Structure 1
Amino acid sequence: MKRAIMLVTAILVMAANTGVFAEQTASDRNECLLLSRNCKDQVDDIYTRMQRLNREIEKGTRVYTPKELQQLREKLAETQEMLRSMEKPGR
């Protein structure tokens, strides 16, 4: 139980760095998800974060460079791993 509380707290702290609503730049890049900049004071839940990352990845190279797309994919993979570790029985 204590470990689960610590894990949830860690996720909330990480999510606080990447707020809910990002101010979009003129090129429609989500700098909050990509660079943790231009974020408001709100926090995503883990499912919302995954949806937002997927939407940004779907914009592809018309909005993001290949390197930026790779960063978004890595953040999505990290988020999915966090969810899997939270869902494991016995935690």
Structure 2
Amino acid sequence: MKRALLLVTGALLMATSTGVYAEQTPAERNECLLLSQNCKDQVDDIYTRMQRLSREIDKGTRVYTPKELEQLRQKLAETQEMLREMEKPGR
């Protein structure tokens, strides 16, 4: 069961990889986190993903629309839930 959960988690992280942009300015939207577009072949660990999502959310409406901010918040909540599931004893 634990192995299946880890495989599913790995697949989810790979599907929504959060690679680094080339020459991204702080004012640009992070389409990789928001839409899983323009991503390199790099996958962040779960802690890095949560930090990056939080930084993007902190940019607020000067960069993102309210709908996009909600999408980022949802992705952060999903990532946090994934971490909680992985940390549960006996899994």
TM-score (ref. length: structure 1): 0.88
Counterpart residue number, 1:83: 83
Residues 18 and 60 (structure 1), Cα distance of their counterparts in 2 relative to 1, 3 Å cut: same
> Where do 4+ consecutive residues of structure 1 move more than 2 Å?
17-20, 22-27
Q: Distance in 1 between matches of 2:36 and 2:73?
A: 15
Superposition map of 1:1-91 within 5 A: 3-19=1-17, 20-23=19-22, 24=24, 27-91=27-91
Contact 1:22 1:31 in 2 (8 A): no
Give the Å deviation of 1:27: 4.7
Q: Distance in 2 between matches of 1:88 and 1:4?
A: 10
In structure 1, the gaps of 5 or more residues are none
In structure 2, the gaps of 5 or more residues are none
TM-score (ref. length: structure 2): 0.88
Structure 1 residues 10-60: Cα deviation after superposition (integer angstroms, max 9, x where no partner): 122112123321354795100000000000011111101000000000000
Contact 1:29 1:63 in 2 (8 A): yes
